[in-house]
Amino acid sequence: MERFETSTAEETRALGRQLAKDLAPGAILALVGDLGCGKTAFVKGVVDAFGDGEEVTSPTFTLVNEYAGTVPVYHFDVYRLDHPSVEECDWMDDYFFADGICLIEWADNIREVLPEHTVRIVFSKNPQKGEDYREIILC
């Protein structure tokens, strides 16, 4: 387990850039945590590391956005899904088992279909430590 703390969105983005160095094609990161906890900020950092400068926008309606670059990054946001069946998630395998990096916001909504090698990153706030404080735990 690794634990990080950030106090600005830019720091969370920088953490994404830094941790991207340890990611190889095929990696799957489950990004877990409430609304506004910094999951997308973290994704921006990973796309900074691998992408070609394209701006990251949340794939809330499309479920997944693809960023081309030195390594493709597949950015999922499955906020709107509620434990769909394995069959309904079949299409995701094309991403999970491709030569890119999958980042999945709200991954607990589809935890039944996540591959075993998925790494979990939990984002949380702590109001006692200020509005912009975030704790980020990698399990």
Ligand X SMILES: Nc1ncnc2c1ncn2[C@@H]1O[C@H](COP(=O)(O)OP(=O)(O)OP(=O)(O)O)[C@@H](O)[C@H]1O
Q: Is the dihedral of CA 7, 35, 138, 57 positive or negative?
A: negative
Report the distance separating Cα 127 and Cα 134, nearest Å: 9
Dmax over CA atoms of the chain, in Å, equals 43
Site for Mg ion, residues 68 to 127, rule: CB under 5 A? 105
CB of 47 vs Mg ion, minimal distance in Å:
13
CA dist 92 → 23, 63, 65, 102 (Å): 19, 10, 12, 10
Residue from 12, 23, 39, 100 binding Mg ion (CB under 5 A) = 39
Asked whether the beta carbons of 67 and 52 are under 8 A apart, the reply is yes
CB of 93 vs ligand X, minimal distance in Å:
24
Smaller CB distance to Mg ion: residue 102 or 116?
Answer: 102
40 binds Mg ion (CB under 5 A): yes
Chain-centre distance of CA 29, in angstroms? 6
Site for Mg ion, residues 120 to 139, rule: CB under 5 A? none
The closest residue (CB) to ligand X is 38
CB of 52 vs ligand X, minimal distance in Å:
21
CB of 49 vs ligand X, minimal distance in Å:
17
Q: Residue 9: which of ligand X, Mg ion, none does it interact with, CB under 5 to 8 A by kind?
A: ligand X
DSSP 8-class letter at 8: S
Positions that interact with Mg ion (CB under 5 A): 39-40, 58, 105
